[in-house]
Amino acid sequence: MRLPGPVKQWLRYTSWPIFAAMVTLMAMGVAAIRASEQADPSMGGFAARQVAFAAVGVGVFFLATMLPYQRLGRAAYPLFAFTLGLLVLVFFLPEVRGSHRWIDLKVVKVQPSEIAKLTFIILLAWYLRYGDHYRRLSGLIVPFGLTLAPMVLILKEPDLGTALLFLPTLYVMLFLAGARLRHLLTIVALGTVTVLLPAPRGVPAESFRKQRDAFRVSSLGPLRFYRVHEALPANARPYTPVAYGRVQIGDGGVYDLQPLVLRMMKDHQSSRIEGWLRQGDPRIERGKGFHLKQSKIVLGSGKLTGRGDWIDADATFRMLPDDHTDFIFSVIGGQWGFVGCATLLVLYGVIFLFGVEIAVITYDPFGRLLAVGVLALLVSQILINVGMTIGLMPITGMTLPLVSYGGSSLVVNCAALGLLVNVSQRRPILLGRRPFEYDEKPEKPPAPYGPLAEGWERDRG
pLDDT band at 460 (very low <50, low <70, confident <90, very high): very low
Check residue 317 and give its pLDDT.
61
Check residue 454 and give its pLDDT.
41
pLDDT digits (tens, 9 = 90+) for 177-215: 888 999 999 999 999 999 999 999 988 888 888 888 888
3-state secondary structure of 244: coil
Average pLDDT over residues 287-311: 80
Whether residue 371 contacts residue 420, with contact meaning beta carbons closer than 8 Å, is answered with yes
User: Is residue 273 over pLDDT 70?
Assistant: yes
Average pLDDT over residues 397-422: 92
User: What is the DSSP-derived secondary structure letter of residue 438?
Assistant: -
User: Is residue 461 over pLDDT 60?
Assistant: no
- What is the enclosing helix (H) or strand (E) of 83? helix 76-89
What is the number of H-type helices and E-type strands within the chain? 20, 7
Identity of the highest mean pLDDT range in 234-238, 249-253, 419-423: 419-423
| Distance in angstroms (rounded) separating the CA atoms of residues 328 and 28 | 10
Mean pLDDT of the chain: 84
Q: Which range is least confidently modeled, 15-24, 27-36, 318-327?
A: 318-327
Q: Which residue has the higher pLDDT, 446 or 22?
A: 22
Q: Which residue type sits at 392?
A: L
Contacts by 277-285, CB closer than 8 A, 24 or more apart: 277/242, 278/242, 279/391, 281/234, 282/234, 282/235, 283/234, 283/235, 283/239
Check residue 123 and give its pLDDT.
95
Identity of the highest mean pLDDT range in 172-176, 270-274, 325-329, 421-425: 172-176
pLDDT digits (tens, 9 = 90+) for 354-392: 999 999 888 889 999 999 999 999 999 999 999 999 988
Pairing of strands 109-110, 245-249: unpaired
For the chain, what's the residue count? 461
